[in-house]
Structure 1
Amino acid sequence: MNNTFKIIVLAGAFVSFILGGGTATGQEILQFFVSFGYLGIGAIIIAAVLHMWFGAYAMDVGLKLKAEDSKDVFIYFCGKYLGLFFYWFAQLFILIVFVVMISGAGATVSEHFGLGIVAGRAIMAIAVLITALFRLETIIKILGIAGPIIVLFAVIVGIGNFESAGFSQAGDIVKELNLSKATSDWWQAGFIYSSFVLLVALPFLANLGKGEVKRSNVIIGGSLGGLIMLIGVFAIYIGILSNIENLHTKAIPTLVLADQISPALATIYSIILLIAIYTTAVGMLWTVAKQFSKDNLSKYRILVVTLTILGFFGGLFPFAKIIDLVYPIVGYIGLILMVGMLYRQFINKGKLESATSTTVNIDKNLSE
């Protein structure tokens, strides 16, 4: 692969991993950004800057550290004891997000196709299981291709529902609706949104970086992925805000937006939603299974099957309620990890070494 294609694949994989059911359905965007009215734009800008930064930096550290276990990445950023806490906490939260994705698939299939929530969860669980058994190389290719497609349709659905009249009145309407907010202040929402995404994405991003050899690829790919993702978020934000009076009670606001444009587009977008959920769920499942299998293929397969079964039954919990309850709490905890990363990059870089390998001597060519 040439460098341009590698960068696109890295950026696309990053986008696909984090632009899952919560974001593409509009639930995260509703609670983190739309609930603050026009000030949500400021929160999105904060989140965009942070996504671009940690996307590039996490991949860069993964490239240099070459750790076999993401535990070493957390320890590098936060020290031995706090790093170990974040390592185990991240694995737990990744499993929770995996369950959210399966639950979101059930809600999407039920709401648009009328097949029932159980059928939706079963279809998604089987698709994720089959894909995860192919392991990383195939997964990255799938994620890299799906990411730009998901964002494209998010932009179409969001921009296609922008109405100047509805948008101009949205500020007053939002105040009257008293929407559930992820946090008390708009600027906090940008930080909290990015920090909970970071906690989930760090092991995946470090593994993406580890597989690269050229530093410029991971820096550009990580930055580009963060930017593309937030473009999709902004498009959905303005679409929901323009129609907030009709959407604030909907489990999947973006699906309603797609239907307002065209029933045919709603069908296509429901498939795109399932792809978004699928790509995130695959990445989550692969990340946890890889951590605990230690490259043992038999153990990896057992873990993938076991976790998929747990995800299927865990998907019984209501989709929107999980996002409302869990994500903000995790976001506040993730802020500590973000501070650790900022400390390592700008104050004390320390030694890039892992518990599973000797100290890494960073070749001068990496900076070229």
Structure 2
Amino acid sequence: MKEKIILIFQISAVFIGTVVGAGLASGQEISQFFTQYGYKSFFGILICGIIYIIMSIIVINLSIKYKLNSYDGLILLVSPGFLGMVTNFLTTFFLIGGSSIILAGSGALIHQYFGVSRWVGIFFMVFASIIILFRDTKGLMEINSVIVPSLILVILTLFLLHLIFYKNVNLSFIKSIPYYKNNWLLSSLVYSGFNVLCCSGVLVPLSLSIGKKKSLIAGSIIGALGLTILAFIINFLLISNIPYIFKYEIPLLYIANRFGKLLQTMLLFVIWLEMFSTEVSDVYSVGKNLQEIFNISYNKSVILIILITIPISQIGFINLISLLYPAFGVVSFIFILQCIIFYIREYSK
């Protein structure tokens, strides 16, 4: 029983750690996709949470039933033909692109706060990632079991301090705050689409590796609920500090600054850890994909991906990502619909 509870906890941590990333931990993603829509953004977060639960159950069931080893197998199963090829290409492109941006971000963060070369931050991230990735699924679960509780602790501390020192913040106050955009539903659907497709890259091989359906589903549901609560808290903190948070690249850092240097340092450390967690998840997902497609060892796939991401991290790749972001969002949402239709047809036979 104890081992089952630990396994469920580890799966939920992997789920949260895969989706969170530095963008959510810093508050930037929540600010862009939700906070700008005012109090209605909370409905958007709730919809995302529901989609995460539904899709994780579908992905786990299909992965175990068809013995899928990577997101490539899942995509081609539910979306055969040209659209599946496009979805597969874009997913691989974004995971490698995301990994490259994280390496660049790690270099920039280390350079900014310690005054050393950016390459120190990049190679430190690469070295740490390889150690964890070579432990395969076990390494992925171990690292998230440490990082996710650290993230939750820091965000909850920030939230409680905010409630204690700013007692005038209540629901009526939140509802009175002006919003900047109206299409909150579309934004939440696009955001959930990104995360579901990227998260599938981890959920599919994880399902095959663990093979315990009930534990996988329980862990994913707990992870989705935890992620939804976390997003609610971050959104609450951000929406209470409109319009000031829009001036900062790391909005949560602006809020943390009020409560001392220690909390600010802890938040920065957690953001780096989330960058690390996403780096590991992205390379793990693509590694499993290359292993299946080209029939090479997983460790060789990991080295190959990292060798590709290091030079890409030095060019303006983020501009290319931003151009294709909307396209990826649309394709991701179509993929969700295809998964649901395929699943209904499969289990209605």
The TM-score normalised by the length of structure 1 is 0.82
Q: 1:6 to 1:160 in 2, by over 3 A?
A: same
Residue 335 to residue 217, structure 1, CA distance change in 2 (3 Å): same
**Separation of aligned partners in 1, 2:296 and 2:341:** 39
Whose helix fraction is larger, Structure 1's or Structure 2's? 2
What residue number does 1:49 align with? 50
Q: Which residue of 2 aligns with 1:197?
A: 195
* In structure 2, distance between residues paired with 1:149 and 1:186: 30
Mapped partners of 2:278, 2:121: distance in 1:
16
Instruction: Note the alpha carbon deviations across 1:56-89, whole angstroms, 9 max, x for none.
Output: 3212222222123432211222234433332232
For 1:139, give the aligned amino acid.
Answer: L
* Per-residue deviation, 1:296: 9.2
Asked if the contact 1:32–1:193 (Cα under 8 Å) also holds between the matched residues in 2, the reply is: yes
Q: Distance in 2 between matches of 1:211 and 1:296?
A: 19
Cα 1:96–1:159, aligned 2, differ >3 Å: closer, same or farther?
farther
Between 4-13 and 92-101, report the one with greater CA deviation: 92-101
- Determine if the alignment matches structure 1 residue 11 to structure 2 residue 9: no
Alignment of 1:294-333 (within 5 A): 294=292, 299-316=297-314, 325-333=323-331
Shift of 1:116: 6.1
The Cα shift of 1:14 comes to: 0.9
Structure 1: distance between partners of 2:116 and 2:33: 30
Q: CA deviation at 1:11?
A: 0.8
Find the aligned partners of 1:249 and 1:213 in 2 and give their Cα distance.
46
Segment drifting more, 110-119 vs 246-255: 110-119
Q: For the Cα contact (< 8 Å) 1:150–1:272, is it kept in 2?
A: yes
CA distance in 2, matches of 1:302, 1:212: 22
**Whole-Å separation in 2 of the counterparts to 1:69 and 1:193:** 22
Q: Give the CA deviation at 1:142.
A: 1.7
Q: CA deviation at 1:336?
A: 0.5
Letter in 1 for 2:60: M
Once the two structures are TM-superposed, the CA of residue 341 in structure 1 deviates from its matched residue by 1.2
Question: By how many angstroms is 1:31 displaced?
Answer: 0.3
- Greater displacement, 341-350 / 205-214: 341-350
Deviation at 1:40, TM superposition (A): 0.9
Alignment of 1:250-289 (within 5 A): 250-289=248-287
Q: Which amino acid aligns with 1:217?
A: S
d(CA) in 1 for partners of 2:6, 2:321: 34
Give the C-alpha shift of residue 286 in structure 1. Answer: 1.4
Q: CA deviation at 1:322?
A: 7.4
In 2: Cα distance, 1:80 partner to 1:154 partner: 43
Letter in 1 for 2:209: G
The one-character-per-residue Cα deviations of 1:228-271 (angstroms, maximum 9, x if unpaired) are 11211111111111122322121111223222222101111211
Instruction: Please give the residue correspondences for 1:24-173 in structure 2 after superposition, counting only pairs within 5 Å.
Output: 24-110=25-111, 112-115=113-116, 117-161=118-162, 163=166, 165=168
Cα offset, 1:290, TM superposition: 2.4
**In structure 2, what is the Cα distance between the partners aligned to 1:75 and 1:19?**
26
Q: CA shift at 1:28, angstroms? A: 0.8
Deviation at 1:154, TM superposition (A): 2.5
Of 229, 237, 243, 1:239 maps to 237
Check whether the contact 2:63–2:74 (CA below 8 A) recurs between aligned residues. yes
In structure 2, the residue corresponding to 1:67 is in which secondary structure?
Answer: coil
Which residue of 1 is the match for residue 340 of structure 2? 342
Give the RMSD, CA atoms, in angstroms: 3.0
Task: Look up the equivalent residue of 1:229 and give its one-letter code.
Answer: L
After superposition, give the CA deviation of every residue in 1:256-306 in whole Å (9 maximum; x if it has no partner).
Answer: 322222210111121111111111110111111222134999754444234
Between 113-122 and 190-199, the greater mean CA deviation after superposition? 113-122
Worse-superposed segment, 101-110 or 190-199 = 101-110
What is the rounded CA distance, in whole Å, between the counterparts of 1:320 and 1:81 in structure 2? 26
CA spacing shift, 1:323–1:153, aligned 2, 3 Å: farther
Query: With structure 2 as the length reference, what TM-score do the two structures score?
Result: 0.86
Cα gap change, 1:100/1:340 in structure 2, threshold over 3 Å: closer, same or farther? same
1:319 CA drift (Å): 9.8
Aligned residues: 345
| Separation of aligned partners in 2, 1:287 and 1:79 | 20
Shift of 1:144: 3.2
In 2, Cα distance between the equivalents of 1:308 and 1:227? Answer: 32
The counterpart of 1:221, out of the listed 216, 219, 222, is 219
Q: What is the CA–CA distance in structure 2 between the aligned matches of 1:153 and 1:196, rounded to whole Å? A: 25
1:194-230: per-residue Cα shift (whole Å, max 9, x none)?
A: 0011111112111111123332212111111111112
